[in-house]
Amino acid sequence: MKYQLLLLWTLAAFWSGVNMQATGEIEVQNFAEYIQLSCKEKNISGNSYKSTKSLKLYYRDDNSGEYQCENVEGKEGEKIFVKLRTCDNCVELDTPSIVGLAVGDVVATIVVGVAVYLIATQARTSQVKPAKKKSDREKLVRNEVQNDDNYQKLIHRGRSEYDEINKK
């Protein structure tokens, strides 16, 4: 049952496509600079264009709009909406351009990597250490006074008033 329904649906879609093409009155032809619209045995008009046998629409935004076929008596026929978008600041990317961009990106990455490597591996210049002098080995401030009132000498293995932390 599923396959019969699928076959019926496919044939219906095909048949409707054939019928739409058979009754189509508007013909569209693409050219390099413009598109040409024409109707079979009728005139075409729309978007401030007079009724003529065929219209040349150059690729400009102001040519976008609805166009329709008209009989000689002025009766409306089939309609088509044309949307033309121009790209003013576009760059065409062909194969050589893409390859050039990719190679340039790889070369720039390698150059930056080599520059970082060379800077990181440079021999570092260390600070010049002064030669050791006799004054470096001597004490800078000598304790010339034997009895210094500011400091109390430590008593080796003896009890003092500060030996116990919490006297009560």
The predicted pLDDT at position 152 comes to 64
The predicted pLDDT at position 19 comes to 42
Q: How far apart are CA 138 and CA 10, in angstroms?
A: 105
Eight-class DSSP state of 62: G
Give this prediction's pTM. Answer: 0.40
The predicted pLDDT at position 96 comes to 93
> In sequence order, what are the residues at sequence separation of 6 or more whose Cβ sits closer than 8 angstroms to the Cβ of residue 156?
none
Q: For residue 50, what are the CA distances in angstroms to 67, 68, 83?
A: 11, 11, 19
> In sequence order, what are the residues at sequence separation of 6 or more whose Cβ sits closer than 8 angstroms to the Cβ of residue 79?
46, 66, 67, 68, 69
* Mean pLDDT per 10-residue segment, the chain (168 residues): 51 52 72 88 81 85 86 76 82 89 98 95 73 64 61 66 63
The predicted pLDDT at position 108 comes to 98
pLDDT tens digit string along 115-141? 999 999 987 776 666 666 666 666 666
The predicted pLDDT at position 21 comes to 44
Strands (E), 23-99: 26-30, 34-39, 43-46, 49-52, 54-58, 65-70, 76-82
